[in-house]
A and B are shown apart, each in its own frame.
Chain A
């Protein structure tokens, strides 16, 4: 199998391999990572052919493109030697093709004047076709990898261009140009990435139980899935809660976001509901298997994002119950809500996913964590779900993780694990053990909350702002 060079972007590093692997899984192609490092934008993978390479990259968000690797080395001498050793059997294929050469210097730069002799030094490839800046049949790039401020490149590659990535979608879906957003709208790049990792694709059915302004369902619909979503806050779906964008007035809602991108035919609709009292049908052994191909979500964090579920803080007196019963049909009636535990909602999401996903379906869920060494990181688990990947987006004192699980086929679910999980709940071990974790956990967020309130002065705030499109002011989904 030939080697290919993936020219990655140097952001969201820990998501890059997972995204490539997911897109390989989606297209059912084998991918082998030959060379990969978190601190490098050059990754070498082994794939069966150009078609496989194309299928893995055309939707990819965290790369620019993929190239057939023709050679590599620590300097130009060793690069040329490598090219002469690795690829001479394929040179002839491009003997008469219109072609072009470009250079891509990572953390370095080359003037036109410098580039010319470098490109000339590959004359032994003996290409006789015309040079074309546009529509070249064969396009070659010389990649240079520099140390930070390094005088000369530390490593070089020569690649033949195979396919460009799908990174331009990040611009298309940019929150700055989105019709309707809120303070917790997921950044477009991360939403698209999540949809890729969850394997959203034509023919599939995806759901977001915490849809807010619909960032994830939009991203999934972009990749061809039919989607729906829900949120406990009806104003976020109907758009009557006010917009996060200054000066934004007039009717704005999630449905219009779908119209903006021409995706309304894939939007089943949004409904108002609490995940812990979901109206979605829960298949039982008799009623058959799950029906969702994927669930993608960013659950509320529990402080200002208003993690609430339906219910009462204290047990209702009879007369209070009666008041609800008498009043609930009145306009403006607000169903009572109570605060809820962050870890409990995660367990609820996993249980829901296990019930409703088709076998092999994926759950991709964001989870914030405090970067505190004393806090043991608890990754929620479920016997029917296999944890596939954990990607981390670090901030100062906290980080966000994207956890991705696969619904195991019934035949692979361990019966012992099922029994064990049941017991754990019955004995209440889980909740009490996690108390300390929870406390520390939320302490870690104060910084984030504070920076949000204070405005754009702190460095951490601008970081958060860049990533989530946060504006000053109150969260609209409380």
Chain B
């Protein structure tokens, strides 16, 4: 699963959802994998304003990935346009974000809720959010 997904995932237990501690989930014992993908400028532009930036910073920190700026970059800082041919070149910020959100994947490991401590397993890139009997 690409890391971007984690910006939308929280604990599946209803009573946890209202607690700020349940988001983001914390990766534990994870095996990461880089899957190179085509740079997707228009998607990055659209998704950036919808991101929970602080959660992304926490995630990058916990995974030991290069740290992110304190506040979300502006959409306009994702590319520089050239005068001559109207083409747009992704900035370093944009390339870093692309790598983090769309190329870095969790292959194996656990995602842990900071509120209830429940661990969700990730196997072969597929996270399992089914709750055991005593939690539903």
- The smallest beta-carbon distance between A404 and chain B, in angstroms, is 21
User: Which chain B residues lie closer than 8 Å to A253 at the CB level?
Assistant: 124
Nearest A-chain residue to B113, judged by Cβ: A279
Taking a contact as CB atoms under 8 Å apart, the answer to whether B46 and A269 are in contact is: no
Q: Mark A298-323, 1 if CB is under 8 A from B, else 0.
A: 00000000000011100010001111
Interface set, chain B 1-42, CB cutoff 8 A to A? 1-2, 4-5, 8-14, 17, 23, 35, 37-38, 40, 42
Q: Mark A226-243, 1 if CB is under 8 A from B, else 0.
A: 101010101001100000
Q: Return the contact of A265 from the options B40, B47, B133 (Cβ within 8 A).
A: B40
A274: interface (CB < 8 Å): yes
Interface size class of A (residues with CB under 8 A): 35 or more
User: Which chain A residues lie closer than 8 Å to B105 at the CB level?
Assistant: 269
A277: interface (CB < 8 Å): yes
Taking a contact as CB atoms under 8 Å apart, the answer to whether A272 and B130 are in contact is: yes
B45: interface (CB < 8 Å): yes
Taking a contact as CB atoms under 8 Å apart, the answer to whether A271 and B131 are in contact is: no
Taking a contact as CB atoms under 8 Å apart, the answer to whether B125 and A269 are in contact is: yes
Taking a contact as CB atoms under 8 Å apart, the answer to whether B11 and A270 are in contact is: no
Given contacts A277-B131, A279-B10, contact A203 B42 (CB under 8 A): yes
Interface set, chain B 33-60, CB cutoff 8 A to A? 35, 37-38, 40, 42-43, 45-47, 50, 52
Taking a contact as CB atoms under 8 Å apart, the answer to whether B23 and A335 are in contact is: no
User: Which chain B residues lie closer than 8 Å to A265 at the CB level?
Assistant: 35, 37-38, 40, 102
Q: Mark A263-307, 1 if CB is under 8 A from B, else 0.
A: 011111111111001111110000101010100000000000000
Q: Return the contact of B5 from the options A203, A232, A269, A312 (Cβ within 8 A).
A: A269
Q: Return the contact of A321 from the options B35, B129, B133 (Cβ within 8 A).
A: B133
A325: interface (CB < 8 Å): yes
Taking a contact as CB atoms under 8 Å apart, the answer to whether A228 and B133 are in contact is: no
Taking a contact as CB atoms under 8 Å apart, the answer to whether A335 and B130 are in contact is: yes
- The smallest beta-carbon distance between B126 and chain A, in angstroms, is 5
Question: Complex Cα distance A359/B124, Å?
Answer: 34
Taking a contact as CB atoms under 8 Å apart, the answer to whether B128 and A203 are in contact is: no
Taking a contact as CB atoms under 8 Å apart, the answer to whether B45 and A328 are in contact is: no
Nearest A-chain residue to B38, judged by Cβ: A265
Nearest B-chain residue to A274, judged by Cβ: B130
A2: interface (CB < 8 Å): no
- The smallest beta-carbon distance between A280 and chain B, in angstroms, is 6
- The smallest beta-carbon distance between B118 and chain A, in angstroms, is 10
B64: interface (CB < 8 Å): no
Question: Complex Cα distance A277/B10, Å?
Answer: 11
Taking a contact as CB atoms under 8 Å apart, the answer to whether B40 and A316 are in contact is: no
Taking a contact as CB atoms under 8 Å apart, the answer to whether A264 and B136 are in contact is: no
Taking a contact as CB atoms under 8 Å apart, the answer to whether B136 and A311 are in contact is: yes
Question: Complex Cα distance A270/B105, Å?
Answer: 12
Q: Return the contact of A271 from the options B1, B17, B23, B45 (Cβ within 8 A).
A: B1
- The smallest beta-carbon distance between A201 and chain B, in angstroms, is 9
Taking a contact as CB atoms under 8 Å apart, the answer to whether A272 and B8 are in contact is: no
User: Which chain B residues lie closer than 8 Å to A234 at the CB level?
Assistant: 126, 128, 130
B132: interface (CB < 8 Å): yes
Query: How many interface residues does B have (CB within 8 Å)?
Result: 40
Question: Complex Cα distance A264/B132, Å?
Answer: 31
- The smallest beta-carbon distance between A279 and chain B, in angstroms, is 4
Interface contacts (Cβ under 8 Å), in number, total: 133
- The smallest beta-carbon distance between A306 and chain B, in angstroms, is 14
Nearest B-chain residue to A207, judged by Cβ: B8
Given contacts A265-B102, A274-B130, A324-B133, contact A281 B1 (CB under 8 A): no
Question: Complex Cα distance A203/B9, Å?
Answer: 20
Taking a contact as CB atoms under 8 Å apart, the answer to whether B136 and A310 are in contact is: yes
- The smallest beta-carbon distance between A53 and chain B, in angstroms, is 24
Taking a contact as CB atoms under 8 Å apart, the answer to whether A268 and B4 are in contact is: yes
Q: Mark B74-92, 1 if CB is under 8 A from A, else 0.
A: 0000000000000000000
Taking a contact as CB atoms under 8 Å apart, the answer to whether A291 and B133 are in contact is: no
Taking a contact as CB atoms under 8 Å apart, the answer to whether B131 and A310 are in contact is: yes
User: Which chain B residues lie closer than 8 Å to A280 at the CB level?
Assistant: 8-10
Question: Complex Cα distance A279/B120, Å?
Answer: 10
A204: interface (CB < 8 Å): yes
User: Which chain B residues lie closer than 8 Å to A274 at the CB level?
Assistant: 12, 129-131
User: Which chain A residues lie closer than 8 Å to B35 at the CB level?
Assistant: 264-265
- The smallest beta-carbon distance between A255 and chain B, in angstroms, is 7
Given contacts A226-B43, A269-B105, A273-B129, contact A324 B134 (CB under 8 A): yes
User: Which chain B residues lie closer than 8 Å to A204 at the CB level?
Assistant: 43, 46
B115: interface (CB < 8 Å): no
A residues near B (Cβ < 8 Å) are: 202-205, 226, 228, 230, 232, 234, 237-238, 253, 255, 264-274, 277-282, 287, 289, 291, 293, 310-312, 316, 320-325, 328, 333, 335-336, 358
Given contacts A269-B2, A287-B52, 8 further A-B contacts (CB under 8 A): A204-B43, A238-B123, A238-B126, A272-B126, A280-B10, A328-B132, A328-B134, A335-B136
Nearest 9 A-B pairs (CB), nearest first?
A265-B37, A324-B133, A269-B1, A328-B132, A203-B42, A273-B129, A279-B129, A279-B12, A324-B134
Q: List 7 A-B contacts (CB under 8 A).
A: A264-B35, A268-B1, A269-B127, A274-B130, A274-B131, A279-B11, A336-B133
